[in-house]
Structure 1
Amino acid sequence: MTRKKEVFVSVDVETAGPIPGEYSLLSIGACDVGDLTKVFSCELKPINRNADPKALEVSGLSLDKLSRDGLDPRAAMQAFADWLAGLAENDRSIVFVGLNAPFDWSFVNYYFHRFLGSNPFGFTALDIKALYMGAVGCDWAETKSSKMAERLAPRRKGDHQALHDAQYQAELFSLIRTKLVAKP
């Protein structure tokens, strides 16, 4: 049996609060870890008016502006699914990669299922923080991106803009794999 080639997709989201369904997914940024020029980005109309003011402050996003200018969530998720399908051509398997993947994946999974009925990622979600912790043997508190950056010296920085953060995370992930994880 031939193993499918894996395509790692770094995903970052900005949200209106801590949990999907009760709070809206506001922005998605994604890139192919192997080619940071292959990108997807969109902002979404909120599904309700619930918001944690701190979440909006961090992202700089406005529910009012997104209500006017954001994509309908169904259209946004369809566009994301179509972009992912392009990466999965030639029978390749896509793998969700995130920095604190459980948070980002929960929103992406919820929105894919709610608006399209299925998630193209399936149940794959690789957490960069957990990978780093395992590679260096550090405590969980040492898995902040700032701590990783001190050791790995990435060229990019995070800024809470979903696409920029997805590209930054992709660089961290690649550096962990090339500098810290032994290849057989």
Structure 2
Amino acid sequence: MEVRNEVFISVDIETSGPIPGVYSMLSIGACLVDRPETIFECTLKPLNRNADLEALAVTGFSLADLELSGAEPRQAMTEFDMWIKAARGEGGTAVFVGLNAPFDWSFINYYFHNFYGENPFGFTALDIKAYYMGVTGSSWTETRSSVMASRLGPAHKANHNAVQDAVYQAELFRLTRQLGRKSKL
């Protein structure tokens, strides 16, 4: 069996609503889980003016401002792919890591396929909530980030800035991984 170099990449996004295509991905933040100072960050032009007002309020973004300052989706996904390829190196496998990964991955996957042609993460993602649940034996309701943070004691906090949240998520994942390793001893 071939052993591949797995490069864990924490990804967080901000959106204008709950589903890709109907709503827009407004920002992408990513960092290497084991080198969180290595980051990718961009804002995107919205696909349309559809917005869930609560979701938009959380992001702090203005669709009108992003129409002027955001990257075209094709450009954003091309740049993200280049960053991922550089981060994973020759022969490495990029592993998408997210807190509530199904949500973030669905937008990333949609944008990669629609504006770039392929998703460098493939068709899978590692969900920190599910991983934490497996390591700790907790219930699903105990996988809220606030509950995880109270147990794990991360130095970072989430604030709905995609790159800062990616760094926070990476720390939660590292701490959960450490907890899992300790329990095996």
Q: TM-score range by the shorter chain?
A: over 0.9
Equivalent residue number for residue 131 of structure 1: 131
Contact 2:135 2:179 survives alignment (8 Å): no
Contact 2:7 2:87 survives alignment (8 Å): yes
Equivalent residue number for residue 119 of structure 1: 119
Identical-residue share of aligned pairs (%): 58
1:108 alignment partner AA: I
Residues in 2 aligned to 1:72 and 1:59: alpha-carbon distance in whole angstroms: 19
| Counterpart mapping for 1:84-103 below 5 A | 84-103=84-103
Equivalent residue number for residue 76 of structure 1: 76
Equivalent residue number for residue 27 of structure 1: 27
Q: CA deviation at 1:134?
A: 1.0
Q: CA deviation at 1:183?
A: 5.3
Residues in 1 aligned to 2:149 and 2:171: alpha-carbon distance in whole angstroms: 10
Structure 1: gaps of 5 or more residues: none
Q: Map Cα deviations across residues 125-172 of structure 1 (whole Å, 9 max, x no partner).
A: 000000111111111111011000000000000000000000000000
TM-score normalised by structure 1 residue count: 0.97
Structure 2: gaps of 5 or more residues: none
Contact 2:11 2:28 survives alignment (8 Å): yes
Residues in 2 aligned to 1:118 and 1:24: alpha-carbon distance in whole angstroms: 18
Equivalent residue number for residue 148 of structure 1: 148
TM-align CA RMSD: 1.1
Q: Map Cα deviations across residues 73-94 of structure 1 (whole Å, 9 max, x no partner).
A: 0000000000001012121101
TM-score normalised by structure 2 residue count: 0.97
1:63 alignment partner AA: L
Equivalent residue number for residue 67 of structure 1: 67
3-state SS of the aligned residue for 1:84?
A: helix
Residues in 1 aligned to 2:75 and 2:184: alpha-carbon distance in whole angstroms: 40
Contact 2:101 2:126 survives alignment (8 Å): yes
How many residue pairs were aligned? 184
Residues in 1 aligned to 2:184 and 2:101: alpha-carbon distance in whole angstroms: 23
Equivalent residue number for residue 167 of structure 1: 167
3-state SS of the aligned residue for 1:9?
A: strand
Q: Does 1:56 align with 2:72?
A: no
